[in-house]
Amino acid sequence: MPTIISHPAVPLALAFGLGRRAVSEKLLQAGVVASILPDLDVLAFRLGIPYEDALGHRGFTHSLAFAVVMALAAGGACRALDTTFSRAFWFVLAAAASHGLLDSLTNGGLGVALLWPFSDERYFAPLRMIEVSPIGIGFFSERGVQVLLSELVWVWLPCALVAAMLFAVRKRSCGP
């Protein structure tokens, strides 16, 4: 999995690119939480739930269905997030869905249950270029540094490019 440090790259990039008028501070915070929340499933290890179980790591919390549920919750809380239902829904959906999609780009683990509850099958993307992060204390090692460098190239750089493109389009559409 990408680290908890890199999952927020997607909502941060979208918020920067779209601007404060489109993404309120509270909506950005909700997006960051939605991008990280699926990894709470690591608690399954402590509960003795097998990795490959639907309740295990990269199981249902990494699914597109779970992302939709989080997006609907954000839409329902749109007033508290200082935005509209539509903006809350789509922004949080992008942030939450990006978690499983980024994890599917890693070179380790058992895949991601993207289509749960319709299928328990675990999926990887055709290209798996992101170094999988060690879980636990192993993160603070040379391997952890390799993972962060991989994420810099394969997560943060593309997100920065998307943010810059969205920013440029937004500024161009607003006129000189």
Residue at 62 is within a domain: yes
Average pLDDT of the segment spanning 51-59:
94
Average pLDDT over residues 8-29: 98
**Does a structural domain hold residue 4?**
no
Residue 145 lies in a domain: yes
Question: Domain for residue 131, yes or no?
Answer: yes
Average pLDDT of the segment spanning 57-65 = 97
Query: Residue 41: pLDDT above 60?
Result: yes
What are the tens digits of pLDDT across the range 82-128? 999 999 999 999 999 999 999 999 999 999 999 999 999 999 999 99
As a whole number, the mean pLDDT across the chain is: 94
SS3 54: coil
pLDDT recorded at residue 144 = 82
Between the alpha carbon of residue 19 and those of residues 14, 65, 78, 93, 109, the distances in Å are 8, 28, 17, 18, 36
Range of the domain at 121: 9-173
Percent of the chain topping pLDDT 70: 95
More confident residue, 176 or 70: 70
Q: Is residue 102 part of a domain?
A: yes
The phi-psi region of residue 118 (left if phi > 0; otherwise alpha if psi is between -120 and 50; otherwise beta) is alpha
pLDDT at 175 over 70: no
Q: What would the mean pLDDT of 38-44 be, rounded to a whole number?
A: 94
1 in a structural domain: no
Domain count, the chain: 1
What digits encode the pLDDT tens for the residues 115-172? 999 999 999 999 999 998 877 666 667 888 899 999 999 999 999 999 999 999 999 9
Contact 67, 94 (CB under 8 A): no
- Does 2 fall in a domain? no
d(Cα 51, Cα 108) in Å, to the nearest integer? 13
In a domain, 3, yes or no: no
Q: Which band of pLDDT confidence, cut at 50, 70 and 90, is reported for residue 64?
A: very high
